[in-house]
Amino acid sequence: MSILTIILTGVGLAMDACAVSLAKGMCYTKKDAIRFSFIFALSFGFFQGIMPLIGYFIGIKFTSSITFLDHWIAFILLVGIGAKMIYESFGEQELACELHIKFIDILLLGIATSIDALAVGVSFAFFDVDIYVACFIIGVVTFILSFFSGYIGRFVGSFLHRYAEVAGGLILILIGTKILIEHLCF
């Protein structure tokens, strides 16, 4: 798997975290924007980076028995996650402003926004990918995008929230389709 594909996967996976960061960013005061953006980005980047590793090792357990289906599994997982992200982007947008953020809430948001990365990690088990490099790239991409999303959220708020989810979903669908086409045609 190419570095570009891993980066694009990271961008796609980061969109949930970016959407939450944008929503939280709307609540930041000028003096708190950088601090809270950093805290959330750290949590999101950590969990987005660790979840594919967990998924990868889960997937490794099953690769020998389902190798002939690996491209279909990756396709279904990525397209399913992408479609879910797009579908959810058109749902009711609830943006809660809470200035007293608890540590446990930050951790739970980090886990919740990275569940998709767990499934992507399972699909990584079927491909030639350096999982540690992939996890590092996904974590860094998520950290950077989440940080800037949180900071920008102060200014643009809910307008970009929906579009971030749609963009992330489309990226994952395209990557899943690319994987399927590569395995069926080449």
Task: List the single range of 28-32, 81-85, 96-100, 174-178 with lowest mean pLDDT.
Answer: 96-100
Q: What is the pLDDT, as a whole number, of residue 97?
A: 57
Query: Could you tell me what percent of the chain has a pLDDT over 70?
Result: 86
Q: What is the pLDDT, as a whole number, of residue 121?
A: 94
Q: At what angle do helices 33-66 and 103-112 cross, to 10 degrees?
A: 40
| pLDDT band per the 50, 70, 90 thresholds, residue 55 | very high
| Highest mean predicted confidence (pLDDT) among 12-21, 72-81, 90-99, 158-167 | 12-21
Q: What is the mean pLDDT of the chain?
A: 83
Query: Could you tell me what percent of the chain has a pLDDT over 90?
Result: 31
Q: What is the pTM of this model?
A: 0.74
Q: Which residue has the tokens 């660790």?
A: 50
pLDDT tens for each residue of 37-51: 999 999 999 999 999
C-beta of residue 82 within 8 angstroms of C-beta of residue 12: yes
Domain range list for the chain: 3-185
C-beta of residue 168 within 8 angstroms of C-beta of residue 13: yes
Distance separating alpha carbons of residues 109 and 180, to the nearest angstrom: 31
Name the token pair of 90.
Answer: 């058109």
Position with higher pLDDT, 110 vs 142: 142
- The CATH number, out of the four listed (1.20.1530, 1.10.150, 1.20.1250, 2.160.20), of the domain defined by the range 3-185: 1.20.1250
pLDDT tens for each residue of 70-122: 678 778 877 887 788 788 778 765 555 555 677 888 888 888 888 889 989 99
Q: What is the pLDDT, as a whole number, of residue 135?
A: 98
3-state secondary structure string across the chain:
CCHHHHHHHHHHHHHHHHHHHHHHHCCCCCCCHHHHHHHHHHHHHHHHHHHHHHHHHHHHHHHHHHHHHHHHHHHHHHHHHHHHHHHHHCCCCCCCCCCCCCHHHHHHHHHHCCHHHHHHHHHHCCCCCCHHHHHHHHHHHHHHHHHHHHHHHHHHCHHHHHHHHHHHHHHHHHHHHHHHHHHHHC
